[in-house]
């Protein structure tokens, strides 16, 4: 069995840019803004601090796939 060739890394391991500046995270800030407007501040903070752990996973609560 041949080992497939892996694509080159865009960033050196451990030196990745922050998620807010990295297109590979597929973050849609419009969704975050709409979610924040739809919830009371305490509800949004509770959700943000929940076991989801990562802001970019919030999409899974409102849609079938990331935007």
Residues 11-51 have pLDDT tens digits of: 677 776 666 555 555 556 777 788 788 888 888 888 777 76
Provide the whole-model pTM: 0.37
Of the CA atoms within 13 Å of residue 56, those in its CB half-sphere come to 13
Report in angstroms the alpha-carbon separations of 51 from 41, 44, 46, 48, 54.
18, 13, 10, 8, 8
- Domain range summary for the chain, segments of one domain joined by +: 24-61
Q: What is the pLDDT of residue 47?
A: 77
CA-to-CA distance for 26 and 41, rounded, in angstroms?
24
pLDDT of residue 58: 55
Tokens of 19: 């998620």
* Residue-level pLDDT at 59: 54
Q: What is the pLDDT of residues 54-64, one digit of tens each?
A: 555 555 555 55
């Amino acid at each position: 069995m041949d080992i497939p060739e892996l694509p080159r890394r865009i960033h050196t391991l451990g030196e990745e840019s922050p998620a807010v500046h990295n297109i590979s995270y597929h973050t849609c800030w419009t969704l975050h803004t709409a979610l924040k407007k739809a919830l009371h501040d305490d509800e949004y903070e509770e959700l943000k601090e929940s076991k989801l752990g990562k802001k970019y996973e919030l999409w899974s609560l409102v849609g079938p796939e990331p935007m």
